[in-house]
Amino acid sequence: MLLEIVTPEEKKFSGNAKLVQLPGSNGSFEIMENHAPMISSLTKGKLKIVKPEGELVFFDIDGGVVEVSKNKVIVLAGSI
């Protein structure tokens, strides 16, 4: 699935991901390929990306919003 992480200043990440783990307002949750469409608010915490080849990438975010639709995940983060 395609993942984009955007802040007000710049696009921090754009690429394929096997799994994304996010700090949701009601607890941490994961998004994988073919996830149902959704929009959720995010809190301060760690965002974890598992790339298709298994590499792990982490970002500390100060909250934001995530939208999932048709194997595309867009994270709008306040700051990283």
Q: What is residue 55's predicted lDDT score, i.e. its pLDDT?
A: 97
Question: Which residue do the tokens 């970002």 mark?
Answer: 59
Alpha-carbon distances of 45 from 34, 36, 52, 70, 80, rounded to whole Å: 24, 23, 23, 25, 10
- DSSP secondary-structure letter at 37? P
Contact by Cβ (8 Å): 74, 18 = no
Q: What is residue 43's predicted lDDT score, i.e. its pLDDT?
A: 96
Domains and CATH numbers, the chain: 2-77 (2.60.15.10)
Enclosing H/E stretch for 72? strand 72-77
How do strand 19-24 and strand 56-69 relate by DSSP bridges?
unpaired
pLDDT values of the chain reduced to their tens digit, one per residue, 80 residues: 999 999 999 999 999 999 999 999 899 999 999 999 999 999 999 999 999 999 999 999 999 999 999 999 999 998 77
